Amino acid sequence: GRVRALRYRYTRTVQEVQSSQAAHRQIVEHLAQGDVDAAVMVMREHVYASLHNFERRHAERAAVAPSPA
């Protein structure tokens, strides 16, 4: 639920979608080859990139939101 909501809300550009899909393919390929360490490394990078995008978008929204009275 939450991951899907964040993905649809914060993954907006074609480049972000393509990058995410490429990471998913790499993870699957590494697992298929039995290289769990490489899969974990790619997953970690993917999650942190997603977090960075989320934080950036959240900051952009906060910057344009009206101040509470």
Long-range contacts of 48-56 (CB under 8 A, 24+ apart): 49/19, 49/23, 50/6, 50/7, 50/10, 50/11, 50/20, 53/10, 53/11, 53/16, 54/6, 54/10
**For the whole model, what pTM was predicted?**
0.71
Walk along the chain (69 residues) and give the pLDDT tens digit of each residue. 666 666 666 667 788 888 889 999 999 999 999 999 999 999 999 989 888 888 888 888 888 877 666
Residue 7 CB contacts under 8 Å (≥ 6 apart), including other chains: 20, 50
